[in-house]
Amino acid sequence: MNAPHPPKVAGIDSTVPTPAHTVPPTPPAPGAASVPAPHTPAPGALLQDRLAGWVSDLTTLHELTERLAGTSTLDAALQELLRAGAALVGARRGLVVLEPGDGLGPHTTIGLGLGRADLGHIETVPRGSLPYGELLDTAAGLPGGNGQTGESVHPDLFAEDGLDPRHREVAARLGYAASYALPLSTVAAGRLGAAEWLYDEPAEPDERRRHLVGLYVRYATEHLARLLEVERTRACMATITEELLPSRLPRVAGVQLAARHRTGPRGGGDWYDALPLPDAALGLAVGSVTGSGPSAVAAMGRLRASLRAYAVMEGEDPVAVLSDLELLLRLTEPARSATALFAYCEPALRKVTLAGAGHSPPLLIGERRTEFAETSVSAPLGMLACWEAPSVEIQAEAGETVLLYTDGLLHRTGDPMDRAFARLHSAAASIPRALRRDPGAIADHVLRTVLPAGLDAADREEDVVLLAARFD
């Protein structure tokens, strides 16, 4: 069973060599007439060939399902499903339509060997006339009691009398003449969608290929159901987090604001805020709650709401604001700690008074300087019996930007903290002059420069927050 196999297409239709232990034929007796003997298979050869075929098929399914199991995102799994299915049924192109039966989404259509324009042409065909539409809109695509579902076979589209004219036109335009479709449905997962493969010439998979692709699609459906649940959870956490953060930034004379936020897949506790205060002042805050997931997001929302109240009452004294916040955290969230930075800005004077609790110092970005503000070193909130640290003042010049950020920006780089700080400083110093008038462009440049090569992707664990304030 471990003997090497000759090359095969998708692990099926392989030629099995004659076993080495087959008994050789008996040589004819001397002088006997040479009479061709009827061909009879050696004892057990037929069974061995059949067993070898089964082993080859199982090996193929094992390899394909392992590759599918290695995918961690919904898009990657759908692409792998299309590629493996095309190899199993002997097709070159295909598409998969994700349309969960519970109506909760997400809904998407992905093609193999088909561009967006091609998919657009296919979508102009009446849905009920398409093979995947037949499966999605009828009972054929619903799982039965044994988990089996129907299939849609069109071995020669142009020979069908009842083919929809628009379908005939699109098939001729795209150059396919046959199709084979299967629903993505099981009893456990329900109906998730359908997959369809297209043939350039009239064709259909034989019984063996149908059996193999049916087993593969059944496994793929279960894998897609798990990824779909993860995708929905991520989207839900991202929505909740965004709803707990400012929907828009305030407009205050003398200062321009911009914020950027990246949420990890499980949802984190990083937050930011900007709120107008009495006497034409402005309060800016960034912070991070320990942990991740729903509990951390909820704690972040409570902490941010409390800080807003303290800022309105005593925002001109950032130390008092953070002291009150520390007391609240210690009494209501004894198992948590948090970092925070609060800045009281007076735009008319371009003056910033700030205090930080275990938080990284803000970065001052201007034409003549790019430097970190000198802030006192202090413990995070909730780490000491009583928190208090002196505040510092920053005098900004016209056109300078104060950049606040959370530690996730530094942690995502994977570098030691000293190198991460150097990387951030270098990114800020390299901002082109044409971008320095726009705080949003400044934040985007810093993100692209500090977090290149996928470090800014949504599947990274750490949250990232940037809050930029440019003084006129």
Scan for tokens 């949504």, then name that residue.
458
Mean pLDDT of the region 269-280: 91
255-269 residue pLDDT tens: 999 999 887 766 678
Q: How far is residue 196's CA from residue 96's CA, in Å, rounded to a whole number?
A: 6
Type of residue found at 470 = R
Q: How far is residue 202's CA from residue 285's CA, in Å, rounded to a whole number?
A: 65
Q: Which of 276, 404, 405 is nearest to 347 (CA)?
A: 276
Beta-bridge partners for 342: 285, 355
Q: Which of 118, 116, 104, 92 is nearest to 193 (CA)?
A: 104
pLDDT over 90 (residue 237) = no
**In which region does residue 428 sit, left (phi positive, over 0), alpha (psi from -120 to 50) or beta (all else)?**
alpha
pLDDT over 90 (residue 248) = no
Sign of the alpha-carbon torsion through 411, 414, 418, 421:
negative
3-state secondary structure of 380: coil
Q: Which residue has the higher pLDDT, 79 or 390?
A: 79
* Residue 347 token pair: 């735009």
Domain ranges for the chain, please list them. Answer: 59-234, 245-471
Q: Which residue has the higher pLDDT, 45 or 27?
A: 45
3-state secondary structure of 156: coil
Q: 69 falls in which pLDDT band (50, 70, 90)?
A: very high
Q: 427 falls in which pLDDT band (50, 70, 90)?
A: very high
155-186 residue pLDDT tens: 999 999 889 999 999 999 999 999 999 999 99
3-state secondary structure of 221: helix
Mean pLDDT of the region 192-211: 94
Q: How far is residue 168's CA from residue 161's CA, in Å, rounded to a whole number?
A: 11
**Please, are residues 178 and 204 in contact by the beta-carbon 8 Å criterion?**
yes
Q: Which of 276, 305, 271 is nearest to 290 (CA)?
A: 271
| Cβ neighbours of residue 35 closer than 8 Å, sequence gap 6 or more | none
Q: 148 falls in which pLDDT band (50, 70, 90)?
A: low
Q: Which of 147, 159, 269, 272 is nearest to 218 (CA)?
A: 147
DSSP track, 291-323: EESHHHHHHHHHHHHHHHHHHHHHTT-HHHHHH
CATH tag for 59-234 (out of 3.40.50.300, 3.30.450.40, 1.10.3720.10, 3.40.640.10): 3.30.450.40
Scan for tokens 């413990």, then name that residue.
379
What is the four-CA torsion angle of 301, 305, 311, 312, rounded to 10 degrees? 160
Scan for tokens 């006997």, then name that residue.
32
Q: Provide the 10 A C-beta neighbour count for residue 89.
A: 23
Type of residue found at 459 = D
Side-chain-side CA neighbours of residue 124 (13 Å): 14
Q: How far is residue 193's CA from residue 109's CA, in Å, rounded to a whole number?
A: 10
pLDDT at position 40, please? Answer: 60
Cα(first)–Cα(last) distance of the chain, in Å?
Answer: 77
pLDDT at position 334, please? Answer: 82
| Cβ neighbours of residue 209 closer than 8 Å, sequence gap 6 or more | 12, 88, 89, 90
Judge if pTM exceeds 0.85. no
pLDDT over 80 (residue 47) = no
What does each C-alpha distance from 450 to 119, 120, 301, 405, 443 come to in angstroms?
A: 37, 38, 27, 12, 11
Q: Which residue has the higher pLDDT, 47 or 249?
A: 249
DSSP track, 8-53: -BTTBSPPPPPPTTPPPPPPPPTT----PPPP-PPTTHHHHHHHHH
Q: How far is residue 284's CA from residue 278's CA, in Å, rounded to a whole number?
A: 14
Topology, domain 245-471: Phosphatase 2c; domain 1 (3.60.40)
- pLDDT more than 70, % of the chain: 85
Which of 10-19, 67-76, 295-304, 450-459 has the lowest average pLDDT?
Answer: 10-19
Q: 21 falls in which pLDDT band (50, 70, 90)?
A: very low
pLDDT at position 377, please? Answer: 67
